[in-house]
Structure 1
Amino acid sequence: MLTAYIITATDHHFTLPIVELPQVRAKAANDAEIPGAVLAAAAEHTGMAHDQFTVVSDY
């Protein structure tokens, strides 16, 4: 499970650190994109498939 939360929100994106991967941050254009953005960032960083993760967003 990956936990992400919004640390900054501007007119055009949210910045989300991933608690379990402290060196990784995801960016999403809106709240609907948060899970996909977190999955993509985690998969890119770890080399694991997207379906290996579950995302929990706190906002």
Structure 2
Amino acid sequence: MVHSPLASAVVGCLVGLVFYLAMPAIVPERMPQRLRLGAAVVVAVLIGLVYLFVRGGLDQG
């Protein structure tokens, strides 16, 4: 089975969006908008990379 990096990007973006929207509930104090957006982008990239490596590792073995 061939794994598409596009799937990793989509999963990362969806998780980042959910994280961005849930951030006020996670961090009660007011965070600047740029900090929230930056944190969501970092989470999206990390989740996308983890998904890519996990799916790639499962497909190889």
**Higher share of residues assigned strand:** 1
**Higher share of residues assigned helix:** 2
